[in-house]
Amino acid sequence: MVVEKSYYMTQEGKEKLEKELHYLKTDRRQEVVERIKVARDFGDLSENSEYDAAKDDQAFVEQRITQVEKMIRNAVIIENDNDNPDVVSLGKTVTFMELPDGDEETYTIVGSAEADPFEGKISNDSPMAKSLLGHEIGTEVAVATPGGDIQVKITKVE
C-alpha cells in the first residue's frame, strides 16, 4: 500500500485550498470548456494554436484539481502548542536575529502547502524552519544555507 504524504497546514490554509478547489471545479473548468468550444469553431484542429492552448490549459486545471484534492484529503491541521509557548513549532511565528549583524526577521512556520515567503510564511521543510523547530527563545542556532552556515538567535515566539 502506498502511504500518501501528509500536508501540514493551518485551518485557514485548508479553507483557502477548499475555496480554490471550488473555483477550479466550477468557474475555471467551465471557462476552459468554453475556450475549447470557441477554438473548435476556428476550423482545422491540426493547425489551431488556440485549440492547443485551451487543451493545455484544461490539462493544467485538471492536474491542479487533483493536486488540491490530494492536499485537502491528506491535510493535517496545525494546532498551536500552548504547552510550550517559548518553543518554536509548526504554526508559530518566530522572530530571530542574524548574528553578528543583528538583522531581525519574522516568519510563521507552516506546512509546504501554504508556504509563501513573501507573506512571511516558510515551509517546515525549509532549511531555516528545520533549524529553528524545537528550539526556544534565547537559543542560538546554526542554519545551513546555500551560501554557507549562518548563526541566528531566537528572540520571540508567538
CB atoms within 10 A of CB 2: 3
The verdict on residue 2 lying in a domain is no
Give me the sign of the Cα torsion angle 5, 19, 14, 72.
negative
pLDDT in tens, 74-122: 998 887 666 678 888 888 999 999 888 888 999 999 888 888 889 999 9
Q: d(Cα 91, Cα 81) in Å, to the nearest integer?
A: 8
Query: Three-class SS of residue 6?
Result: coil
CB burial of residue 123 (10 Å; 0-12, 13-18, 19+): buried
pLDDT (0 to 100) of residue 60: 97
The verdict on residue 110 lying in a domain is yes
- Both 126 and 94 in one domain: the answer is yes
pLDDT in tens, 33-69: 999 999 888 777 777 888 889 999 999 999 999 999 9
Residue of higher predicted confidence among 7 and 82: 7
User: What residue numbers bound the domain in which 150 lies?
Assistant: 87-157
Residue finishing a domain among 55, 77, 99: 77
- Split into its structural domains, the chain has a count of 2
Give the position of cell 501540514.
Answer: 8
CB burial of residue 20 (10 Å; 0-12, 13-18, 19+): middle
The verdict on residue 103 lying in a domain is yes
Residue 133: CA atoms inside 13 Å, Cβ hemisphere, count? 15
The verdict on residue 82 lying in a domain is no
- Both 70 and 93 in one domain: the answer is no
